[in-house]
Chains A and B, each alone.
Chain A
Amino acid sequence: MTTHSNTVSSAGSIKARGVDWAATIKDAGLAAFVALLLTVPLVGLRTVDRPTGLGIEARPEEVVASILLVFLGRLGLGLIRQGMAMPVLILALICAGVGLVLPMPTQVLRLVLVLGGGVIALRAAMTVATGRSKLSQADRDRRMDRIAAKVQHASKYIGPVAVAFAVVLPFTPLADRMILDIGILLLTYIMLGWGLNIVVGLAGLLDLGYVAFYAVGAYSYALLAHYFGLSFWVCLPLAGLLAACSGVLLGFPVLRLRGDYFAIVTLGFGEIIRIILVNWYQFTGGPNGISGIPRPSFFGIADFSRTPAEGMAAFHELFGLEFSPLHRIVFLYYLILALALVVNLFTLRVRKLPLGRAWEALREDDIACASLGINRTNMKLAAFAIAAMFGGFAGSFFATRQGFISPESFTFIESAIILAIVVLGGMGSQIGVVVATLLVIGLPEAFRELADYRMLAFGAGMVVIMLWRPRGLLAHRDPTILLHGGKPPAATGAAK
């Protein structure tokens, strides 16, 4: 292996000379020391509720374990750099295997072992394969870009396959209540991500208060149903309309601002909506929220309950099925799938229209836009209103699915998560939103058993992704129109 890697040459190639144990261990020791400083307060101490008040409990064994792991990990990395990639690879794989199979005192230890072992194994495997221990930032970016471009081109096929999978999912034996619920949750966030992508990804307006429109949609439906007894199918377009109006309302005063200032005002707007919802309790129910929001009917024809209300057929009787509470869940699943696909279809189409191109142009340079006679205010308002409308649809879906809403569901953290999905996926990338949703929403769901550490891992993951790929996972833009057809001259052209 070493001889092979030597032929690869260049600055990054592995030095064939012996391992400098002293330096490596010193380096690993230093890393362990940093870990010690960090883990003593963060991991080693834990507050516990005692009858006498809040107490502190020390957890030395976890500190020792984490320091040891950091030491070993750093040692592994150091050795990889010095041409010991193969043994490290094997050791790391064993480590990950042990973590996976053997019983561990805590789940965290297991996770750290598996993930840490996995990452180091990956690093080692890459070194073995390429003969280079480290990629430069630019190199890595180029590689990721190529992957992103491939995914973008493959999305022609991935898209339909994913949609087909999503469509047949409820009929597979896989589909139980939990899977469908997670599916609905994921699709809701995908829809919100796609909606926000219009504002952030296409028009380049950093909106930190997107959840406000989600709230307006949800409360529109809940209140219209509560006070006027309107059905879901009447309220859905109304909720979208009201959310769009609120988008325009916010947009008018705000759109003359730029960049950071704009972001701050949208942040304020999100909070205003939430605070109104909390304080106007005579109308909105205040912090208690609104409960008993009617469930959607089957397009106003049939009801999903066992004993439907007057003048309404029961779904299972209408279709001659055995009654099952799953029917409603499946219907909700399809509903959000359809809504999300509408947003996606809209974005894909609008990108090829002057409206979408003007949005992207605004993102690139809004002064140049003005010099070309583009009415910036109207374009931004349109982006805002349309994204708000989709947020409103998603909100009213959320209300009907939950049956209960309260201002708690529309806090800033929701906006932040949706924004994180868009940024993480790669601004403007539709498939990136899906991938990022799976990561941001899906993984924490899957690791629910990790309890407290879930969010810590989530935060760490975000940091890592942003370090590795600041422009987002799948940030790659294909032109919306080609003159010469065929392949866009990407990397090959730039060499010229």
Chain B
Amino acid sequence: MSAVMPHTTMNDKPLLSVEHLTMRFGGLVANNDVSFEARAGEITALIGPNGAGKTTLFNCVTGFYTPTVGRLTLRHPAGKEFLLERMPGYRIAQLAGVARTFQNIRLFSGMSVLENLIVAQHNKLMRASGFAIGGLLGLPGFRKAEHEAVELAKYWLDRVRLTEFADWEAGNLPYGAQRRLEIARAMCTEPVLLCLDEPAAGLNPRESGELAEILTFIRDVQTPQGHRTGVLLIEHDMSVVMRISDHVVVLDYGRKISDGDPEHVKNDPAVIRAYLGEDEDEALPPEVAADLNLAPTTNQKGA
């Protein structure tokens, strides 16, 4: 793996460490003792059948849920460490630099494309406008900051090829463009970790090809701050996952069943079993088998 991706060796410490993460909703265990790592300058894909707990894990990382058990550590290139499970939701985006997109697109659809990208730079601009007081008085600091914000927005618009649509209402964009805009918006927060929840859902092959290009660009480019962005990706489209990810984590029934580079995961019997369901009752992990033991037999009796 390191031979294919030489840059992975440059960080000795992972960007994000998820340790023993468990998330329970009442009796339902959505994530059960999941641990993995994601590195800067890498695309880490999180895959698994429906209901495997991928989005729950995402929501824990991005602060929408507080995990029941476990530790989430984010290490900035500058050396700062953040314990994400202890931070309120919006702080994770604001301070720790974790940006995300949503499974069902959440754009500010009544606002223009450019405005979407400017809103993403809210905290920076808020400071520059003196918490609106300086801005109301028309102090020059804000105008400069806004100009810079527009420049950053232009850069990402150019990247996702939406420059000509900049003044459109975001809700009027075609579906694929909305997906790209959401990624651009997340990138405008200048994150160290970008979390994408099924970005290729509903895209046609050409569009998902473009998406893959954008994602590899985000992975490979150095940010102005001189670090690389880590990408955490939930995806069902295996062609995209296998093509672009450097590291794949497979979840099933809330547990991690495999972890490694795409080649390894593809050939992992546990993964094949989870996806294709072959030899079900024979080779399941013992706990899962114990959990499931009753259900199939009763079903068979019923049938």
Contact = CB atoms under 8 A, between A and B. Distances in A.
A493 B172 contact: yes
B168 interface: yes
A488 interface: yes
B170 to A, nearest CB: 9
Nearest to A355: B132
Interface in A352-399: 353-358, 360-361, 363-365, 367-376, 382
A368 B107 contact: yes
Interface string B156-181: 01000001111110001000000000
Contacts of A23: none
A145 to B, nearest CB: 12
Nearest to B165: A493
Interface residues of A, number: 36
B244 to A, nearest CB: 23
**Interface residue tally on B, bucketed by range:** 35 or more
B38 interface: no
Contacts of B165: 493
Nearest to A486: B167
B196 to A, nearest CB: 12
Contact of B185 (A357, A358, A372): A372
A350 B110 contact: no
A281 B168 CA distance: 56
B29 interface: no
Contact of A488 (B90, B122, B167): B167
Interface string B59-78: 00011100000000000000
Chain A facing B: main interface SS: helix
Given A360-B108, A483-B167, A370 B150 contact: no
Interface in B86-136: 89-95, 99-100, 102, 106-112, 114-115, 118-123, 125-126, 129, 131-132, 135-136
A416 B100 CA distance: 39
Contacts of B132: 350, 353-356, 382
Contacts of B102: 367-368, 371
A477 interface: yes
Given A368-B102, A489-B167, A357 B115 contact: yes
B154 interface: yes
Chain B facing A: main interface SS: helix
A354 B119 CA distance: 7
Contacts of B129: 353-355
Given A350-B132, A494-B172, A373 B118 contact: no
Given A349-B136, A372-B185, A373-B93, A482 B167 contact: yes
Contacts of B93: 370-373
A373 B108 contact: no
Contacts of A367: 64, 102, 106
B189 interface: yes
A349 B106 CA distance: 27
A349 to B, nearest CB: 6
A484 to B, nearest CB: 6
A479 interface: yes
A376 B90 contact: yes
Contacts of A364: 107-111
A235 to B, nearest CB: 23
Kindly name the residue among A357, A382, A484 whose own CB sees the greatest number of chain B CB atoms within 10 A: A357
A116 to B, nearest CB: 37
A361 B153 CA distance: 16
Given A360-B110, A361-B108, A374 B154 contact: no
A374 B122 contact: yes
B70 to A, nearest CB: 21
Given A349-B136, A483-B154, A354 B107 contact: no
Contacts of A373: 90-95, 122-123, 189
Nearest to A364: B108
11 contacts: A355-B129, A355-B132, A358-B126, A365-B108, A368-B107, A371-B100, A371-B186, A372-B119, A373-B90, A479-B114, A481-B115
